[in-house]
Structure 1
Amino acid sequence: MKKIKFAIVILFLFSGLWNYAQQPPSGQNKVKVTGKVLEKVTKQPLEYATVSITKTNENKVIAGGITNPKGEFEVAVAPGTYDIKIEFISFKSTEIKGKNISGDTNLGVVNLSEDAAQLNEVVVRAEKSTVEIKLDKKVYNVGQDMIVKGGTVSDVLENVPSVSVDVEGNVSLRGNENVRIFIDGRPSNALNMAEALRQIPADAIDKVEVITNPSARYDAEGGAGILNIVLKKGKNLGFNGSFIVSGGIPETYGASANLNFKTEKVNFFTSTGYDYRTSEGAGITNSVNLNKDTKQIIGYTDEDKKTERLRKGISTKTGLEWTIAPNTFWTNAISYRDNSGSNNDLVNYNSFDPNRVFTSTRYRLSEGDDTGRDFEYSSNFLKNFDDKGHKLTLDFSYSTDKDSDNAYITDETIASGEPATIDETFNSQKQEQLQLQADYVLPLKNGGQFEAGYKGNFNYMDNMYSVNTDDQGNPIDGYLSNTLEYNERINSFYTQYGFKVNKFSYLFGLRWEDTVIDVNLLDTQNYNTKKYNNFFPSAFVNYELSDESSVSLSYSKRLSRPRGRFLNPATNYSSNINLFRGNPDLDPSFTDKFDLGYLKRWEKVTFSTSMFYEYTTDVFSFVRSETGQFVGNNPVVLSSPINLAKEQQFGFEFTLNYTPFKIWKINSSFNLSDVKTTGNYVYENTQGEEIITNLNNETFSWFGRVNSRLSLPYKIDWQLSGMYFGPRNTAQGKSLGNYVVNTAFSKDVLKDKATIALNVSDLFNSRKMKNETNLSSVNSYSEFQWRKRQINLSFTYRLNMKKTDRDKNAPKNNGGGEEGGEFQG
């Protein structure tokens, strides 16, 4: 019944859009004025340059528009004589006087030069929206968000449309965790992605690009899509930048500098900072222990967990961009992060008999420390053959990652007379990655474009994990300890062709990827080589209903390779009755994605909506398995990912930007989906018993967010955001709903050269993961809160840099091949 209601709602929404599409477009008697705006020195396109058209001898603007990522614009006006003005922040404007427009007119290329006089002024002008809505992607501008000041990338992603982050830091796109994360256009292969994202300060991020249905140009990996995190890099002439210091409760403080020095030939840039962060968490798990044969209650266990975490370290990205010639650029950059910290978990177990009479108390204390060092060198070469988009891009990057963490675990039953048991865990990871990439773009006549490229990604990782006891110091057994050796070689080629016919735009592409992966478990001598090569087609069709609205239909084939915590066989041993372990024998899953989208712009509103369908085979799913072991009367349960037969997801989402007044901006997003999973899980527990679990499941889930930014008197800005994650059924229970509210205030001081911001994350301390789980030998209810409410105060000082330069200075090319908001994957 829920599916029927869901389908009816979607049908009505899209029938309304279709009826609108059948109406004749406005302005049929108008003609089009087109052109392209470039930066004079670098010949790079200027996105968001404004075009204003006024009647000659009149001051009133009768038509206007902004440029797209390629610097192109198109404005519809009635035939006549006009003055045309092209402007961009901190650039000298260009004006065309008395232009006679009698038919469709192309103004050609308009080159704008930087205005040195304006660079020294402090002028606060209209800023970009926090969220920019485009037909093929959404762009989240971090600089506009006060709530993430003093936070990390995980805090940033919590506010990105279509993206959700659970309390443990795991990222999902449209409710799907198979999302590929890029940093400056290069894939991140961190073993623990959730922890890696907490190590990058939010102040180093310029924007996040969300691509839900990527074309053949991008990596095929990421069944849900791609998130590209773009780091800051200045572009202004001279010496300029910003300094940020912050502090908060629980104890948190940091300092960072984002600086650049640019001449006509050289641009030196750096984003460097130090971060010290503590966080407190808590959780409970109340279990009813059952006889799996008779289903009679044999006891109760109430588990209470408290966590304290500390992270500290430095991070930097420093580089040099050299303008070899007006159309040739070479950028080299070095990124380095050095982090360390501690993780302390205290778990108390209160046990009761079948009559709920208290029997014993046990505690388990895990005291851990960890260190990590990441290094990356990247080089990007860009050759523009002309100012029409004909170009060649070459990329090279090499990175290393070394992490280790140890834990000392004490387990004791109070007043039992038995000595405490002591375990030690050790986890060491080394990873190297080499990436080579070449992309070629050739514009063709009549608006067509041909693209082709190659990418090689070579990744090696060695991960050793062991659990030792205090009596003889030997590993417990292969069940908990192992050494993983992972060697991945991916070679890929792609080509795509796009063209336009009247109001229809087409883009067809094909990508081929050859994959060889060695997954070796050295301790158990389990060696496995996976080889596969596949074609990944993509097709996009866009129809312009009018100058303000368009409809698109797209298809792409994707895959998801198991990575990170999905693959790592290291067992989380902080609780010895509720374990988690990755599965190194996972196969990739393949997804066919279909997306129908609609975009409409009004003067104060931008609205984007899409209906999507995804069909995935060999999908990853987490299952809880009874190991057959017991600690007292408590069964030991292991959570681990497996490949299931198939999954079908049908969903709908919308994003809305609304500016009711100049002082008030609102953006919101809503996502709902129906997911049907089919499959059986058969496994053998440690007692040699075969267990068959039916995991057929259908669940309806939804989440939404609203973000409001209001300018108050005395130049104080107030931001308030709220998110709600609806409940959903799982194959083995239910995930309950939860919500979070964040707020922030900021004020510009020192003649607008500086900003003070105060933000509160999780205002009502409500962000908790709540689950109900039903297994044959245990039923449980659990809550877990990774991080309690936090308060941060930050101070930002801008040196020779206007407040809105952070918008204009988004990098136009960098080591990731990113250009004008696009990147090559």
Structure 2
Amino acid sequence: MRQLFPLLLLLALSFNYTYSQRPGGDRERGPITISGKVLDKDDNLPLEYATLVLQSVNNPDQITGGITDIDGNFKVEASPGKYNISIEYISYKTFKLPNQTLTENKDLGTVRLALDVAQLEAVEVVGEKTTVEVRLDKKIYNIGKDLTNSGATISDALDNIPSVTVDADGAVALRGNGNVRILINGRPSALAGFGSTDALQQLPADAIEKVEVITSPSARYDAEGTAGILNIVLKKEKTRGINGTINTTVGFPDAASLTANMNLRKEKYNVFTTLGYSYRTPPGNGFADNIYLGDESVFDRIIEDRDINRMNSGFNLNLGMEYFLTETSSVTASAFGRTNNGEDITEIVSTNFVGNDINRITQRIEDEQEEEKSAQFSLNYNNDFNTEGHKLTVDLQLSYNEEFKPTPINEQETITNTGFDGARLNIEELELQNEYLAQVDYILPIGDAQFEAGYRGNWEQSDTDFYLEDFNFDTGAFVPNLGLINRFVFNQNVNSFYTQYGNKLGDFSFLAGLRLENTQLKGEIVGADIEQLQEIIGEGIEVNFDKNYLGLFPTLNLIYELAENENISIGYNRRINRPRGRFINPFPSQSSRTNIFQGNPDLDPAFANAFDLGYLKRWDKLTLTSSVYYQKETNSFERIQEETGQITTDGIVVIRSIPINLATNERVGAELGLLYNPTKWLRLNGSFNFFEFNSDGEFNGINFGARNTSWFSRFSSKVTLPSKIEWQTNAFYRGPTNNAQTVNEGIFSLNLAFSKDILKEKGTLALNVSDLLNSRRRISSTQTPFFTSESEFQWRERQITLSFVYRLNQKKQRREREGERNDDGGDDEYGS
């Protein structure tokens, strides 16, 4: 509404100006010119789209005027006469000059407007009501007003978004489905870790402007992700001059961070940067009680207690410059870099039973170190041919990631002595990832309609080099394990073309599209014993492969406006879930001697058809969003556990987790969201998501079909206390879930945050308590024909942080100004 206000007023002024030029108007002496400049009184920044109003004293119905440009300048023509002059800008006090006689050109000079505090509070209340925006193919959440994000990570911010959950391991799911595609500014990015969520658990949430939840993606988007897409849009301040924010955070357990978002905007260019440093030591813990049912294992029961001590420190830098070639075109170049040094020391105490008697207690210490470097270079060309939406964008992107993980492992007996010598390993894993992206999007408006077409090429390569040494207790030296030393090179190449057409016919809008994608998945084992590896993974599975998949992916999104603030939407899309490198790497992990994870090179992509029916209704103080959805997925992924047929030297059965393709997975669900603002000091936000899925299929003669009904809900309240202290509470509960082998109990977490503006609203202090009750932990029960397991895992314990934000040449809740350039992935009337 704030953006429409200047345009509507300008249309009114233009109409009256035209009317005033009709015969009978005072034009005998010719027009005169009124000029001047409008600035913010506090920071001297220009106010674009401020409105000059000239109202005739003799004929009050005769009004003319104009608006300021990007530099705050105005220059309008009017007939000589007597006028009441005013200069207006929403949320600022109006400047007035009554009864001015204008007979010749007049320069009003520089006019400085001051904020109207009463109006500003009203504007901020309106802003709270529009936290969620609905498009044909997505919902947009502005997370900048969530106090619990201060000092938090991107993963923490995502976990506060309706429809989104982040589990105890940091895995992101949408509507309970983990097959979600994560984009940064509408594109794959090194920030998202090439499909991994590790980087999202380290990067600060301060850099995020909004999150787009795209449950029914249009044809413009990559078809990857059967659950949908999460597009994280980063901040990029567009206000002229030098401005930005600096955020510092300290916390317990030990945590510290410093993030600066800075911007320099001139007439011909815009330079923006985000620089950050973080240090965290989030402790974790785990527990497992495993009972072996077969006769192969020497031990009947093994209880494991796990303590995890982590340290992560890292720098990240995002630097870019947008250069305006013309009034309608620009080139943007940006570079992102990230370094991270981490160490996870995991101590596992295992108590082994024979019958009911303790036979042995061992201690295993894993010291996993991590040195990671990421870089990304982007070049974007944008040409807005006109203001009607005729547009061409070209994107080129290069991403690189290097991760080196040396991990010494030492396991030994601590109490009893059964002749077990222990185990000592040295593991070194080096993973290199490269990604190249080229994308062209063209938008052509045709009256109220819009045609769009484009191309995207995405080429990814991951090269994983794994080296393992075993300690020989007889010789006292480490010896290379030639059977497990390996190198796996995986390529995923996707080329796609799309076209879509949208139109608005009265109260009815639609967007129909078609995407053609060719996917190549290529894996190669380098320098390993193929015959020995074939014995490990089984016969009939190609360890070296080159597969191609060609598919059409139609999309259709409809909206019908029942009233000004009420609509119904319908969406259909076909999606693909491509297996990532870890899921098809056939080499088993070595983080445990007895429970390993192993990829499946025979894994094929999964395909899904999804339908979505939504309803939106806005009242004065209440906004309701709701939807029901159905999805049928073929070749769906499922992680199962099975015996490998191998037994350790001390008689423990080795069990592996492996991903497989099941036949089908049907999912049906419903979600409801409410945003209620009863008063300006209270905001309530709640959402509820219910879903059921039914999977069907078998592997190696065992049926792994299952039916699961679950739900999750979140509630948030934001209260303004006396002295303008803001208090926010976020509560979340996820109901129990299960698959064919494992049942997970429900999870509840509670976050609290308090904030207070200081230094004349240039600074904000915030206290944040994440997981107040220390209850965010995964509790699972697994039942198979050969063993049972009761386990508990907590990735991060309760965290308390204190942060301070300082705004440089910015006002709190500064309004976005209409007419500025957009770099959020390409919003338009029909989609992104």
When normalised by structure 1's length, the TM-score is 0.83
The residue number in structure 2 matching 1:156 is 157
1:650 to 653, 658, 668: 668
The residue number in structure 2 matching 1:426 is 428
Amino acid at match of 1:590: F
In the alignment, does 2:360 pair up with 1:382?
no
Amino acid at match of 1:251: D
1:679 to 679, 687, 697: 697
Residue correspondence of structure 1 range 74-153 to structure 2 within 5 A: 91-94=48-51, 113=70, 115=72, 125=121, 126-127=123-124, 128-129=127-128, 131-135=131-135, 136-153=137-154
The residue number in structure 2 matching 1:467 is 468
1:741 to 731, 747, 750: 750
Separation in 1 of the partners of 2:545 and 2:184? 30
Check 1:157–1:481 CA distance in 2 against 1; reply closer, same or farther (3 A cut).
farther
Q: Is the 8 A contact 1:411 1:422 kept in 2?
A: yes
Residue correspondence of structure 1 range 562-711 to structure 2 within 5 A: 562-563=579-580, 565-569=582-586, 571-631=588-648, 632=650, 634-682=652-700, 692-711=701-720
Return the offset for 1:381.
0.9
The residue number in structure 2 matching 1:499 is 503
The residue number in structure 2 matching 1:373 is 373
Q: Is the 8 A contact 2:286 2:306 kept in 1?
A: yes
Separation in 2 of the partners of 1:611 and 1:457? 33
Q: Is the 8 A contact 1:193 1:564 kept in 2?
A: no
Amino acid at match of 2:376: E
Return the offset for 1:571.
4.0
In the alignment, does 2:513 pair up with 1:517?
no
Return the offset for 1:192.
6.2
Separation in 2 of the partners of 1:420 and 1:302? 17
Q: Is the 8 A contact 1:299 1:633 kept in 2?
A: no
Amino acid at match of 1:707: S
Check 1:284–1:48 CA distance in 2 against 1; reply closer, same or farther (3 A cut).
farther
Return the offset for 1:818.
3.6
Could you list the runs of 5+ residues in structure 1 that have no partner in the other structure?
1-36, 38-45, 57-88, 100-106, 683-691
Residue correspondence of structure 1 range 241-390 to structure 2 within 5 A: 241-291=244-294, 299-354=300-355, 356-390=356-390
Return the offset for 1:138.
2.2
Return the offset for 1:167.
0.3
Check 1:587–1:490 CA distance in 2 against 1; reply closer, same or farther (3 A cut).
same
Return the offset for 1:425.
1.4
Q: Is the 8 A contact 1:291 1:297 kept in 2?
A: no
1:218 to 218, 221, 241: 221
2:446 to 437, 444, 447: 444
Return the offset for 1:742.
0.5
Q: Is the 8 A contact 1:321 1:329 kept in 2?
A: yes
Could you list the runs of 5+ residues in structure 2 that have no partner in the other structure?
13-45, 57-63, 74-110, 531-542
In the alignment, does 2:764 pair up with 1:764?
no
Q: Is the 8 A contact 1:247 1:792 kept in 2?
A: yes
Return the offset for 1:717.
0.5
Return the offset for 1:820.
6.8
Amino acid at match of 1:608: T
SS in 2 for 1:279: coil
Q: Is the 8 A contact 2:184 2:234 kept in 1?
A: yes
Encode CA deviations 1:580-619: one digit per residue, 9 max, x unaligned: 2333432111010111111111111111111111010110
Check 1:280–1:745 CA distance in 2 against 1; reply closer, same or farther (3 A cut).
same
Q: Is the 8 A contact 1:740 1:767 kept in 2?
A: yes
Q: Is the 8 A contact 1:570 1:582 kept in 2?
A: yes
Check 1:491–1:157 CA distance in 2 against 1; reply closer, same or farther (3 A cut).
same
Encode CA deviations 1:399-445: one digit per residue, 9 max, x unaligned: 11111111110011224254332111111111111111111111112
SS in 1 for 2:197: helix
Amino acid at match of 1:658: Y
Check 1:210–1:476 CA distance in 2 against 1; reply closer, same or farther (3 A cut).
same
Separation in 1 of the partners of 2:397 and 2:293? 54
Amino acid at match of 2:654: V
When normalised by structure 2's length, the TM-score is 0.82
Separation in 1 of the partners of 2:790 and 2:558? 47
Return the offset for 1:758.
0.6
In the alignment, does 2:235 pair up with 1:232?
yes
Q: Is the 8 A contact 1:133 1:606 kept in 2?
A: no
SS in 2 for 1:752: coil
Q: Is the 8 A contact 1:233 1:260 kept in 2?
A: yes
Q: Cα RMSD (Å) of the superposition?
A: 3.0
Check 1:144–1:726 CA distance in 2 against 1; reply closer, same or farther (3 A cut).
same
Return the offset for 1:569.
4.5
Return the offset for 1:119.
9.3
Encode CA deviations 1:209-238: one digit per residue, 9 max, x unaligned: 110110111111111111111112111111
SS in 2 for 1:325: coil
Larger Rg: 2
Q: Which has the higher contact order (CA 8 A, sep 6+)?
A: 1
Separation in 1 of the partners of 2:500 and 2:764? 45
1:717 to 726, 735, 747: 726
Check 1:432–1:733 CA distance in 2 against 1; reply closer, same or farther (3 A cut).
closer
Separation in 2 of the partners of 1:709 and 1:820? 31
In the alignment, does 2:806 pair up with 1:797?
yes
SS in 2 for 1:156: helix
Q: Is the 8 A contact 1:811 1:818 kept in 2?
A: no
Separation in 1 of the partners of 2:52 and 2:175? 45
Separation in 1 of the partners of 2:440 and 2:547? 26
Check 1:813–1:160 CA distance in 2 against 1; reply closer, same or farther (3 A cut).
same
Amino acid at match of 2:220: R
Check 1:291–1:739 CA distance in 2 against 1; reply closer, same or farther (3 A cut).
same
Separation in 1 of the partners of 2:301 and 2:522? 44
Check 1:191–1:330 CA distance in 2 against 1; reply closer, same or farther (3 A cut).
closer
The residue number in structure 2 matching 1:82 is none
Q: For this pair of structures, how many residues does the alignment match?
A: 726
Separation in 2 of the partners of 1:821 and 1:265? 28
Q: Is the 8 A contact 1:812 1:820 kept in 2?
A: no
The residue number in structure 1 matching 2:100 is none
Return the offset for 1:269.
0.7
Check 1:585–1:473 CA distance in 2 against 1; reply closer, same or farther (3 A cut).
farther
Separation in 2 of the partners of 1:704 and 1:566? 30
SS in 2 for 1:470: strand
Amino acid at match of 1:459: E
Separation in 2 of the partners of 1:351 and 1:591? 45
SS in 2 for 1:154: helix
Check 1:823–1:266 CA distance in 2 against 1; reply closer, same or farther (3 A cut).
farther
Separation in 1 of the partners of 2:819 and 2:778? 36
